[in-house]
Structure 1
Amino acid sequence: MKKSRSALVAIAAVAALALAGCSSQNAAPQSDSDAKGDASSFTDVSLIVPADPGGGWDQTGRAMSKVLTDGDIVGSAPVTNVGGAGGTVGLAQLGNQKDPATLMVMGLVMVGAIETNASNVRLEDTTPIARLTDEPLVVVVPEASKYKTLEDLVEDIVDKGQEVTVTGGSAGGADHILAGLLLEEAGVDGAEIPSKLNYTPNSGGGEAVSLLVGNKVTAGISGVGEFLQYIEDGSMRALAVSSAEPVDALPEVPTITDAGYDVVLTNWRGVVAPGGISDAERDELERIVTEMHEDKAWTSELETKGWADAFLVGSEFDAFLDESIDDVTGTLKNIGLI
């Protein structure tokens, strides 16, 4: 698969539940119209962020909660963080969730983490609700780093292997995939990438920031929104972005393609609900998320965070998710990560 792997995965971001008291409050009692198949009415929803605070999934969940409640779309939308294993810990809890008025933030990262962690619960076991955003990744180094260009960094990884440390999100996620694709494009055989790449995964963006700002690692990869403030305040130096075109928030930073590597990869994020909910319950969750998407406050959140609007619901999101799962699994095999 030649790497405009945007075809790959962006096509080509992350929690457990507020379990106590959710079921009785969120799902309205079934009326006669409900029994006839009309949509249920959820006055509240619970949001699962299957990652520690500070990363893209957390930012997404908290932005959703704010827009949903400030816009009176629902009465409350509490966020619960449960990090670990690329979101698969939170995914396992979603698998046990009985309250249909529950949304879990997920995305490309989780698609890969399910494979690398051999998760028993898969996205196929959930109910897809919507794709929300798409975001380029950025490769950064600490401000004091000797590396001035992406080529400098990649060539040193090729030459020195494990001596060069790279941090990012969970194993098998978008950040990890991008690092592997860069080495493959630099001529490293896919089977050799795992032994050549010294990659430190994190369960939330805050951990990666601490490692980078503290000069504990050589380089980092994450969504532009997660590192932007540290790039702007000079704590980090951006070497390249993973989109096809330069991003508005970092207009002077070259794309990876411009830096000499034919790789394009963006990180999408969306939400899913528990598996086995009724059609009426799925319709109601899609209505809630669609109303959020149409709120001007959500548009403002997209602009502030530097996220692209990638909204999809219904059968279109179902088809996209199936394609993403197939593409990511194939790519992880090609670059030796599974």
Structure 2
Amino acid sequence: MSFLKSRGRVAAVAILAATLAGTLSAKAEYPEKPVEMTVLFGGTANTTAQLLAELMGQELGSPVVPVARTGGGGAIGYAHVQATRPDGYNIVWNSNSINTTHHLGTLPFNYEAFEPIAQVSVEIPVLAVNSAKGWSNLQEMAEAVKAGDKTINVGISGKGSFTHLASAALFDAMGIADKVNYISYGDGKAPIELLAGRIDAAIQWPGQFLSYIKTGDLTVLGSTGAQPVSVLPDVKTAKDQGFDIDISMWRGLAAPMGTPEEILVKLEAAAKAATESEKFTSASANIGYEPAFKGRAEFGEVIAKDDAFYGELLGELGMSN
């Protein structure tokens, strides 16, 4: 009898051990806890990140928490994430800024310090002016500036910022780079500065200008990407107007180098599902971005290509480290 009882106890212990092992194994499956997403900028970048985080959290079955770490053109946020453990619990909502901050000398490392997860969206900058200028396209602006005897004031987010580089490339293509004076302003202030007459033109994201375009106060002369902006379909690209330029802001996700492959696969899948969801697509018109998913491999190629482009551009502007 005791022998049978002993065997029963052994069997019970074995079953319990197997159950616990299965439970522990399930708990160990990524993600076990919230994933922190570092957000580098405010404005459109922050709004899009909030939505993306919500949708990815639903896919992963664990919250994705956006945390603002702004400053240094993105350098502060990149440095934070790069220094964290490569376990998938710290990711960064990155952009072309990974390239520009490095070549400006703000970051001691480049894009190779991160594993690409996925490209999520693209934002195409547009050039706006006060409608009182009377210009309706880039050619009219170029002719007026060339004929004038003064420089024009162009608003930018800051020296070396994306808006600065996009502006410099566009005005170089238009042949008026030597007649431009750049003035830095705070986030979201481009329309106010244009309306007040403190600046003559500004390149920014379409969402900042939409309400002022509807009232007729501002006019958008052109966009800098290869394709027209969906929220401003009647605005021609610079290339369509005869100026050879193609600059857009991509945004996506990256993790510290060394993050396990299986975790990157899960994050990529969650980003894909979020980007292709109806909620993310429908929100794009109001926020001002274009959903543009690219997987890890293709996204990595985009980042590397842009790194070479911005390194060369900053060098031509005399701004590289």
- The TM-score, its normalising length taken from structure 2, stands at 0.78
**Retained in 2: the 8 A contact 1:84–1:203?**
no
Letter in 2 for 1:58: N
Correspondent of 2:34 among 16, 19, 44:
44
**1:135 aligned residue:** 123
1:326 paired to 2:308: yes
**2:261 aligned residue:** 279
Letter in 1 for 2:76: V
**1:182 aligned residue:** 170
**1:198 aligned residue:** 181
**1:3 aligned residue:** none
Q: Give how far 1:221 is off.
A: 0.4
**Retained in 2: the 8 A contact 1:107–1:268?**
yes
Q: Give how far 1:131 is off.
A: 0.8
**CA-to-aligned-CA distance 1:212-238 (integer Å, 9 cap, x gap):** 344332211012234333323434221
**Retained in 1: the 8 A contact 2:151–2:180?**
no
1:91 paired to 2:78: yes
1:171 paired to 2:154: no
**CA-to-aligned-CA distance 1:113-170 (integer Å, 9 cap, x gap):** 3312442243221221111112321100134445443234345555779842212344
Aligned with 1:172: secondary structure?
coil
Of the two, which has the highest radius of gyration?
2
CA distance in structure 1 between the aligned counterparts of 2:201 and 2:53, rounded to whole angstroms: 32
Q: Describe the shift of the 1:296–1:76 C-alpha distance in structure 2 as closer, same or farther (beyond 3 A).
A: same
Letter in 1 for 2:248: T
Q: Describe the shift of the 1:176–1:160 C-alpha distance in structure 2 as closer, same or farther (beyond 3 A).
A: farther
CA distance in structure 2 between the aligned counterparts of 1:33 and 1:76, rounded to whole angstroms: 17
Q: How does 1:105-184 map to 2 (within 5 A)?
A: 105-145=93-133, 147-155=135-143, 163-184=151-172
**1:237 aligned residue:** 219
**Retained in 1: the 8 A contact 2:72–2:106?**
no
1:300 paired to 2:290: no
**CA-to-aligned-CA distance 1:7-29 (integer Å, 9 cap, x gap):** xxxxxxxxxxxxxxxxxxxxxxx
Aligned-pair identity in percent equals 23
**2:63 aligned residue:** 76
Letter in 1 for 2:181: N
CA distance in structure 2 between the aligned counterparts of 1:337 and 1:197, rounded to whole angstroms: 16
Q: Describe the shift of the 1:104–1:303 C-alpha distance in structure 2 as closer, same or farther (beyond 3 A).
A: same
Q: Describe the shift of the 1:57–1:42 C-alpha distance in structure 2 as closer, same or farther (beyond 3 A).
A: farther
CA distance in structure 1 between the aligned counterparts of 2:261 and 2:144, rounded to whole angstroms: 53
**Retained in 2: the 8 A contact 1:88–1:119?**
yes
**1:19 aligned residue:** none
**1:103 aligned residue:** 91
**1:60 aligned residue:** 48
CA distance in structure 1 between the aligned counterparts of 2:195 and 2:32, rounded to whole angstroms: 43
Comparing 161-170 and 127-136, the one that deviates more: 161-170
Q: Describe the shift of the 1:89–1:231 C-alpha distance in structure 2 as closer, same or farther (beyond 3 A).
A: farther
Letter in 2 for 1:200: I
**Retained in 1: the 8 A contact 2:231–2:285?**
no
**2:19 aligned residue:** none
- The TM-score, its normalising length taken from structure 1, stands at 0.74
Q: RMSD of aligned C-alpha atoms?
A: 3.1
Correspondent of 1:289 among 239, 256, 271:
271
Count of residues in correspondence between the two structures: 297
